[in-house]
Amino acid sequence: MELQLCNLCKHYIGNLSCLAFPEGIPEEILNGENNHSKPLPEQFDDIVFEKEN
């Protein structure tokens, strides 16, 4: 799994979860197939990737 994108996001909580996916980030994001620039139907709220400052 590639967590580079998630590790850079200000919404990442850790343990493969984030504010958009508190129950677990989908594999398509974890493996880099989706850069999460647009909300997904199954996520919480409309949070997308935002680089942490």
Name the residue ranges covered by the structural domains of the chain: 1-53
Show Cβ contacts of residue 15 under 8 Å, excluding neighbours closer than 6 positions: none
H-run or E-run covering 18: strand 17-18
| pLDDT value of position 9 | 96
Using one digit for the tens of pLDDT, what is the confidence trace for 18-51?
A: 999 999 999 999 998 999 999 999 999 999 999 9
Using a 10 angstrom Cβ sphere, with 0-12 exposed, 13-18 middle and 19 or more buried, the burial of residue 27 is exposed
The answer on pLDDT for 3 being more than 80 is no
- CA angle 7–12–15, rounded 5-degree value: 85
Residue 7: its pLDDT value, please?
92
Residue 4 has pLDDT above 90, yes or no: no
pLDDT of res. 2: 54
- Residue 46 in tokens: 């409309």
Q: What is the pTM of this model?
A: 0.88
Amino acid identity at 6: C
